[in-house]
Amino acid sequence: MKHMVKLSNGACVPALGQGTWYLGDAVATYDREVEALRAGIEAGMTLLDTAENYGDGRSERLVGEAIRPYDRSSLFLVSKVMPSNAYGTRLMQSLDRSLSHLGTDYLDLYLYHWRGERPLAEMVTAMEEARAAGKIRAWGVSNLDTADMEELWAVDGGRNCAVNQVLYHMGSRGIDYSLLPWMREHHVALMAYCPLAQVGRLGCDLLGSGVLAEIAAKYGATPVQIALAWAIRDGNTIAIPRTGRKEHAVSNAGADAFDLTAEDCAAIDGAFPPPTHKEPLHIE
Ligand code: NAP
């Protein structure tokens, strides 16, 4: 993959990875979804994002099946711990369960899924213990807004956070105002979730946008590919579209071929204006 992102722990990861929410839930589509993930891996999307609570472990098990033929070191596996499990020995228990579902003995990145009620310091301590035990290579957070990140930065060891995974697509770009600049300044990479706005389900019809269609036609691309190229345009963002279809996986990886110009981005800003003030973080 041409577009790569360097994380603060030195890892270099593809800017386009694969989401897996809802995958593994239905027996009828299981084989097709395994094939889709494998097609995505072979097309360069070797980063796979899952979570302990996706289908109560079914998504992690599906990923475990999909990655069986591949050399572990060629992959970058991400999973997430729920806040209710993100402290003390509970985190290690969750992590061991995720590792067993995935059929591996380490995660490349482990994320704190959303802000819970317990102090961030407890999560950081447990993450650092998992890192020292060699079970995770790096840790990060998800759905944390600017004030949460500032609070994390004041915690001992909190600055080891490599990634913040938050919702980001053209129709929901409130983080462009303060969170993203803060993350750039503090070398925290963005992992953009729902980069396709769930193809219209999130109330934003990206694929029906005339501007996207025009830019796509200019490059011989699809609107989905332009939406992904836009999401990763800053060189510090990883987008994780999810698909259960091989042909979509190959097409999504193909977004790597496109670099949007300043003129393209200005046209997109016209149709999907950047924020002019702090907006609350959107969470899906
Ligand atoms: P998404 O990636 O924005 O959209 C998924 C939808 O796009 C699916 O319905 C898929 O259908 C369709 N799609 C994918 N590629 C396509 C293509 N080339 N052409 C047409 N349709 C296409 O939504 P998401 O799954 O909610 O978000 C992505 C990932 O982010 C998740 O899977 C999960 O790993 C992560 N996530 C994290 C959080 C968090 O709290 N940290 C929250 C939400 C999501 P087909 O299967 O038919 O292709």
Phi/psi class of residue 11: alpha, beta or left (left: φ > 0; alpha: ψ in -120 to 50)? beta
d(CA 167, CA 239): 10
C-beta of 172 in contact with ligand 1 (< 6 A):
no
C-beta of 142 in contact with ligand 1 (< 6 A):
yes
Averaged pLDDT, 127-138: 98
Confidence (pTM): 0.98
Digit-coded pLDDT (tens) for 72-97: 999 999 999 999 999 999 999 999 99
- % of the chain at pLDDT higher than 90: 97
Q: State residue 249's pLDDT score.
A: 98
Q: State residue 200's pLDDT score.
A: 81
Complete edge-to-edge strand list for the sheet that includes strand 237-239: 18-19, 47-49, 76-81, 109-112, 139-142, 163-167, 189-193, 237-239
d(CA 73, CA 105): 11
Name the band, by pLDDT with cuts 50, 70 and 90, for residue 207.
confident
Domains of the chain (ranges, CATH numbers): 4-271 (3.20.20.100)
**85: helix, coil or strand?**
helix
Q: State residue 173's pLDDT score.
A: 96
Q: State residue 204's pLDDT score.
A: 82
Q: State residue 205's pLDDT score.
A: 85
Residue among 112, 243, 258 to mutate when testing ligand 1 (max atoms within 8 A of CB): 243
C-beta of 82 in contact with ligand 1 (< 6 A):
no
Name the band, by pLDDT with cuts 50, 70 and 90, for residue 13.
very high
Residue 283 C-alpha to ligand 1 middle, in angstroms? 14
Query: Does 113 belong to an annotated binding site?
Result: yes
C-beta of 224 in contact with ligand 1 (< 6 A):
yes
d(CA 264, CA 230): 9
